[in-house]
Amino acid sequence: MNFSVAEENYIKAIWHLQRYHDDVTTNLLANQLHTRPASVTDMLKKLKTKKLVHYEKYHGFSLTTEGKKIALGVIRRHRLWEFFLSEKLKFDWDEVHEVAEDLEHVSSKKLIDKLDEYLGFPKVDPHGDPIPDNQGKMETSSSICLDQLELNRSAEVSGVGNQSTELLELLKHKNIRIGTKLEIKKRFEFDNSLEIKIRNTPAFTISEQLAKNLLVKHGK
């Protein structure tokens, strides 16, 4: 079956919200998609008839197995295009998301599988997020949130909590990107800010909000 741009955006948004919320709510989804709760309800009814979500009115909703499959297809396309834009067209990593938001809806299977091959079957996108393969399987990341990293333990930045230009702009300014090696030198109780050390550069502090939006992997 074939899905509309709107349907794909809803399905993908539900998938993302499910990752971090036990139950996804109508308001939450409306907020994520910059739309209204009433519109979400309308779409949920449609997605239910297409068997992409489980939905009982007033009692929440979640993706079906089929819904998850569709979501992973969209996410695969999104992240492959992001990789292409970054790697081949030399886009900055804070510019790729918006364009990929459109490209992800061009759904020729052949196009995407050939693109994947052309790119050398990349495993992660420019934000460190794993790219599903053509079966919908992807690496489960062993990343933890930076604010949970132990003091003085070396780690490597592996991902970001969201793709907002605001976040990515801040990271660019602080010279933090995927692969950056760092450790936490001190934790300030007052505001939970962290003193960070990157090799060969002076230490600096980052806010709690920023720490909560950075994923890291332990160094060996």
Partner DNA sequence: AATTAAATTTAGACAAATCTAAAAATTATT
Partner DNA sequence: AATAATTTTTAGATTTGTCTAAATTTAATT
**Which stretches of the chain bind DNA, using CB under 7 A?**
4-7, 25-28, 34-46, 55, 57-60
**Site map (CB under 8 A) of a second copy, residues 62-101, x = contact:** -----------------------x--xxxx---x--xx--
Task: Decide if 112 contacts 72 (C-beta within 8 A).
Answer: no
* Binding at 125: pick from a second copy, Mn ion, DNA, none (beta carbon under 5-8 Å per type): Mn ion
Query: CB of 9: closest distance to DNA in angstroms?
Result: 7
Q: Is 34 in the site for a second copy (CB under 8 A)?
A: no
Q: What share of the chain is helix, strand, coil (3-state, %, to 5)?
A: 45, 15, 40
Candidate list 115, 144, 145, 198; residue touching a second copy; CB under 8 A: 115
**In the beta sheet, which residues pair with residue 183?**
197
Q: Which residues pair with 181 in a beta bridge?
A: 156
Number of residues binding to a second copy, judged by CB under 8 A: 17
Taking CB within 5 to 8 Å according to partner kind, which of DNA, Mn ion, a second copy, none is near residue 114?
Answer: a second copy
Torsion sign across C-alpha atoms 144, 148, 154, 160: positive
Strands (E), 13-79: 53-55, 61-63
- Say if residues 95 and 85 touch (Cβ distance below 8 Å): yes
Residues that bind a second copy (CB under 8 A): 85, 88-91, 95, 98-99, 102-103, 106, 108, 110-111, 114-115, 118
